[in-house]
């Protein structure tokens, strides 16, 4: 309700003083009209019918109507509200009102914008009641003035803060679940789990630290569901409860038969399923084999030693687990293949550091995870997972990246002599980083960036850069799945690329503004000279269905503001596909196809056989995309925690001759497990070495 008190003071004015005041007032009003952008003291003339007239008003702001007699504003948790503090009142009486001052609310923030629009923003996740005070000065018809203090009562309705938890497991082992970790309660509230329901296919025990230990029934598979109830003591000392749901999905492990080694790999490429600008990279083909034998940050047998070595080489892994780089940047050299699929079950994740290549070339990285920043006390210490600065001929395939403190990954020119050409990023997951992926950088020379492909990837829970494009050459962003971004999907920097933007699947989540396509669209810098072919993209909310006939320009807007991009930026003819042409699916097919095979999801077991394994983090991300589960949490560094991985080590008789191939596979394919020269040989004359045949089994699952 509006509560107000009137403090009247009458000024007795003689005629000369009155004339002086009128002249002064006219001068002030003229000055205000000439400096409107900085004016927070705009005057309004209010007639007896309570109609306000603002000079030079362009459009009516969206606002609630306030009433001096009865002021009540209702909004929802995290939902700001605006109102005009001078104009939109239903109080009676004439005169001219001027805003003087305000008292800030206790549970929110009050901002007085130009044209005297008040913006009230509740504290993050707060619900309950709040109030604020506005002091107005009223100049009456007889030029007497009054001061009116208006109290606005505000009600913030609660929204559901519990977020469904989804846990995926392939074993019968107990799982400790942290249900509150992804919930969105006010950090100043006290939240506790008071009870849990009984699951059907396992047991659940509530621990005293708000965690739940769930044990699945042995020899079962499928989904199990149970609930938890929370008690919330809010900052205003009110108490309420909310109920959340936990889904545990127990998946059966599929055994994959051994590959024969005689498959038809087609034309010689980096590997059989390589496409785009980097498809013909050779990496370490024919060079030496280096084994990573431990999880140390440096030293003999470490990842650092192998990546920083020189010459043609292929890195294989005898261990699985997390490699903490110790905060030191790892700088790699050219002519390299990192075969992450050779690690035992669990694979390899590097953390607490960045792998960077500067001025290098000819690099293949497959089936590896980079999670460089583990937040502590809200601080993020490291930047990108991968940086390729001034590098040519790079392909990233089936990598998983999250927790990048700057971007997730960057590929950009370093100088006019260190270009950034012939790259592919494919079948990879990029999530939960400060920003996404840069293909070309505004701080690097654009003219040296060309032939870059971003295909078959997933970008999820990323604020923006999905990816950004900057260069004067050819780029393609094709058949990617983008989910729950915050604003600006792809942004074209002040450069002149030719871009094929085809059949991508944009699925909005809770972080994406549901009512503003232009605000969250792909962006073009107005200083750019880009040419864009954009067709067959899907954009949820009935915006685009992925049809050839649709106008895809609607999902593009200018970087500054949300204006339509001028038609001169768009072309009607597709540019030639880059490198080895990527097979293009329609957006709906790409959505299913990419989610079924993306990220560091395969490994070669002790028998030389390909198996499936996704870590917990990637598994949940893919499940959430499929089931449209998202949060509004934005850069929540406190949740950036490295998933635990199985730590396994190969037996001494796994690869007797150290050539990178499992003895069992060599015997099955007519090779000698005691002859290390087998690795660089080509028994079937297809151009791939025997070692590559062994590694490339993952391409056929």
**Residue 53 confidence (pLDDT) above 60:** no
Q: What is the reported pLDDT for 159? A: 75
Q: Which residues contact 568 (CB under 8 A, 6 or more apart)?
A: none
Question: pLDDT tens digits for 210-221?
Answer: 889 898 888 788
Residue that is written with structure tokens 């196809």 in the block: 593
CB 602 within 8 A of CB 367: yes
Question: pLDDT tens digits for 398-434?
Answer: 999 998 878 889 888 876 667 899 999 999 999 988 8
357: β partners:
388
Q: What is the reported pLDDT for 56? A: 33
Which of residues 204 and 16 earns the better pLDDT score?
Answer: 204
181 pLDDT band, cuts 50/70/90, is confident
Q: What is the reported pLDDT for 225? A: 92
**Residue 601 confidence (pLDDT) above 80:** yes
CATH assignment, 375-596: 2.160.20.10
Q: What is the reported pLDDT for 502? A: 98
Q: Looking at residues 494-502, what average pLDDT do you find?
A: 90
Which of residues 319 and 380 earns the better pLDDT score?
Answer: 319
Q: What is the reported pLDDT for 219? A: 76
Other Cβ atoms less than 10 A from the Cβ of 560: the count is 9
Which ranges in 372-486 belong to alpha helices (H)?
none
7 pLDDT band, cuts 50/70/90, is very low
Q: What is the reported pLDDT for 425? A: 98
**DSSP code per residue over 432-459:** SSSS-EEES-TTS-GGGEEEEEEES-EE
**Residue 310 confidence (pLDDT) above 50:** yes
| Long-range contacts from 592-595, C-beta under 8 angstroms, 24+ separation | 593/456, 593/479, 594/427, 594/456, 594/457, 594/458, 594/479, 594/480, 594/481, 595/458, 595/481, 595/622, 595/625, 595/626
**Residue 50 confidence (pLDDT) above 50:** no
Q: Which of 71-75, 258-262, 375-379, 508-512 has the highest mean pLDDT?
A: 508-512
**Residue 22 confidence (pLDDT) above 60:** no
**Residue 4 confidence (pLDDT) above 50:** no
Q: Looking at residues 14-43, what average pLDDT do you find?
A: 39
Q: Looking at residues 496-501, what average pLDDT do you find?
A: 93
CATH assignment, 63-157: 2.60.40.10
- For the chain, percent of residues with pLDDT exceeding 90: 48
Q: What is the reported pLDDT for 45? A: 32
Q: Which residues contact 146 (CB under 8 A, 6 or more apart)?
A: 6, 7, 8, 9, 137, 138, 140
Q: Which of 47-56, 116-125, 689-698 has the highest mean pLDDT?
A: 689-698
Q: How far is CA 366 from CA 226, 301, 315, in A?
A: 38, 20, 11
CB 491 within 8 A of CB 522: yes
**Residue 41 confidence (pLDDT) above 60:** no
Which of residues 671 and 251 earns the better pLDDT score?
Answer: 671
Rounded to two decimals, the pTM is: 0.69
Rounded Cα distance between 678 and 326, Å, is: 36
Give domain 165-250's CATH architecture: Sandwich (2.60)
Q: What is the reported pLDDT for 419? A: 87
Q: Looking at residues 538-558, what average pLDDT do you find?
A: 93
- Asked which of 25-29, 85-89, 253-257 is least confident by mean pLDDT, the reply is 25-29
Q: Is the peptide bond before 467 cis (omega within 30 degrees of 0)?
A: yes
565 pLDDT band, cuts 50/70/90, is very high
Which of residues 113 and 625 earns the better pLDDT score?
Answer: 625
**Residue 223 confidence (pLDDT) above 90:** no
**Residue 527 confidence (pLDDT) above 60:** yes
Q: What is the reported pLDDT for 75? A: 85
Rounded Cα distance between 547 and 525, Å, is: 27
**Residue 556 confidence (pLDDT) above 50:** yes
Q: What is the reported pLDDT for 257? A: 42
292 pLDDT band, cuts 50/70/90, is very high
β-strand 44-46 against 202-206: which pairing, if any?
unpaired
Which of residues 263 and 586 earns the better pLDDT score?
Answer: 586
**Residue 122 confidence (pLDDT) above 90:** no
Which of residues 299 and 487 earns the better pLDDT score?
Answer: 299
**Residue 8 confidence (pLDDT) above 80:** no
Domain limits, CATH 2.60.40.10, in the chain:
63-157
φ/ψ bin of 401: left (φ > 0), alpha (ψ from -120 to 50), beta (otherwise): beta
Which of residues 377 and 439 earns the better pLDDT score?
Answer: 439
Q: What is the reported pLDDT for 36? A: 33
Question: pLDDT tens digits for 127-170?
Answer: 888 988 888 887 877 788 888 788 888 888 877 778 888 887 77
Q: Looking at residues 609-613, what average pLDDT do you find?
A: 96
Q: Looking at residues 636-654, what average pLDDT do you find?
A: 87
Other Cβ atoms less than 10 A from the Cβ of 257: the count is 8
Q: Which of 34-38, 48-52, 89-93, 669-673 has the highest mean pLDDT?
A: 669-673
507 pLDDT band, cuts 50/70/90, is very high
**Residue 113 confidence (pLDDT) above 90:** no
Q: What is the reported pLDDT for 38? A: 30
């Amino acid at each position: 309700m509006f509560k107000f008190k009137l403090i009247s003071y009458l000024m007795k004015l003689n005629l000369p003083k009155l004339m002086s005041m009128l002249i002064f007032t006219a001068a002030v009003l003229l000055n205000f009209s000439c400096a409107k952008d900085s004016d927070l003291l705009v005057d309004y003339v209010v007639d007896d019918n309570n109609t306000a007239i603002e000079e030079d008003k362009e459009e009516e702001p969206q606002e609630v109507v306030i009433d001096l007699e009865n002021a009540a504003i209702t909004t929802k948790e995290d939902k700001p509200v605006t109102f005009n503090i001078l104009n939109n009142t239903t109080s009676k009486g004439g005169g001219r009102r001027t805003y003087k001052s305000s008292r800030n609310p206790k549970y929110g923030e009050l901002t007085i914008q130009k044209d005297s629009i008040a913006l009230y923003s509740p504290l993050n996740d707060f619900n309950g009641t709040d109030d604020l005070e506005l002091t107005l000065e009223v100049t009456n018809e007889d030029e007497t003035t009054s001061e009116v203090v208006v109290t606005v009562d505000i009600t913030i309705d609660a929204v559901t803060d519990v977020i469904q938890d989804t846990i995926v497991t392939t074993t019968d082992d107990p799982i400790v679940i942290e249900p509150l970790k992804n919930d969105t309660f006010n950090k100043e509230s006290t939240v506790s789990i008071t009870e849990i329901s009984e699951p059907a296919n396992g047991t659940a025990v509530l621990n005293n630290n708000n965690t739940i230990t769930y044990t699945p029934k042995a020899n079962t598979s499928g989904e199990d569901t149970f609930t938890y109830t929370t008690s919330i003591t809010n900052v205003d000392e009110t108490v309420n409860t909310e109920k959340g749901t936990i889904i545990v999905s127990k998946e059966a492990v599929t055994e994959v038969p051994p590959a024969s080694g005689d498959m038809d790999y087609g034309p010689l490429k980096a590997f059989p399923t390589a496409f785009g600008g980097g498809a013909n990279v050779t990496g370490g083909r024919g060079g030496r084999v280096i084994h990573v034998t431990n999880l140390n940050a440096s030293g003999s047998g470490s990842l650092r030693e192998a990546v920083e070595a020189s010459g043609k080489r292929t890195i294989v892994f005898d261990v699985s687990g997390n490699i903490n780089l110790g905060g030191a940047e790892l700088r790699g050299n050219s002519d390299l293949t990192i075969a992450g699929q050779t690690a035992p079950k669990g694979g390899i994740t590097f953390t607490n550091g960045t792998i960077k290549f500067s001025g290098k070339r000819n690099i293949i990285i497959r089936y590896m995870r980079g999670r460089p920043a583990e937040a502590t006390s809200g601080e993020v210490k490291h930047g990108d997972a991968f940086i390729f600065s001034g590098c040519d001929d790079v392909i990233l395939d089936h990598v998983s990246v999250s927790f990048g403190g700057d971007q997730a990954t960057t590929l950009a020119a370093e100088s006019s002599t260190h270009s950034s050409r012939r790259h592919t990023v494919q079948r990879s997951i990029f999530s939960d980083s400060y920003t996404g992926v840069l293909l070309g950088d505004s701080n690097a020379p654009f003219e040296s960036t060309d032939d870059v492909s971003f295909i078959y990837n997933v970008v999820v829970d990323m604020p923006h850069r999905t990816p950004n494009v900057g260069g004067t050459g050819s780029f393609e962003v094709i058949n990617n799945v983008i989910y729950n971004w915050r604003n600006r999907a792809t942004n074209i920097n002040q450069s002149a690329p030719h871009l094929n933007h085809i059949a991508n699947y944009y699925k909005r989540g809770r972080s994406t503004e549901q009512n503003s396509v232009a605000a969250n669209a792909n962006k073009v810098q107005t200083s750019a000279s880009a040419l864009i072919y954009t067709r067959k993209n899907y954009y949820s909310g009935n915006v685009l269905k992925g049809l050839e006939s649709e106008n895809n320009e609607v999902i593009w807007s200018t970087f500054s503001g949300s204006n339509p991009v001028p038609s001169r930026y768009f072309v009607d003819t597709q540019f030639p596909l880059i490198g080895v042409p990527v097979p293009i699916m329609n957006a709906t097919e790409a959505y299913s196809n990419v989610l079924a095979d993306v990220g560091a999801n395969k490994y070669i077991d002790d028998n030389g056989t390909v198996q499936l394994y996704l870590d917990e983090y990637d598994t949940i991300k893919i499940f959430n995309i499929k089931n449209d589960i998202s949060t509004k949490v934005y850069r929540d560094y406190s949740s950036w925690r490295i998933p635990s991985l199985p730590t396994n080590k190969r037996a001494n008789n796994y690869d007797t001759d150290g050539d990178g191939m499992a003895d069992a596979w060599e015997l099955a394919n007519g090779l000698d497990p005691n002859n290390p020269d087998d690795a660089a040989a080509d028994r079937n004359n297809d151009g791939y070495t025997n070692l590559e045949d062994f590694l490339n089994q993952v391409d056929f699952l």
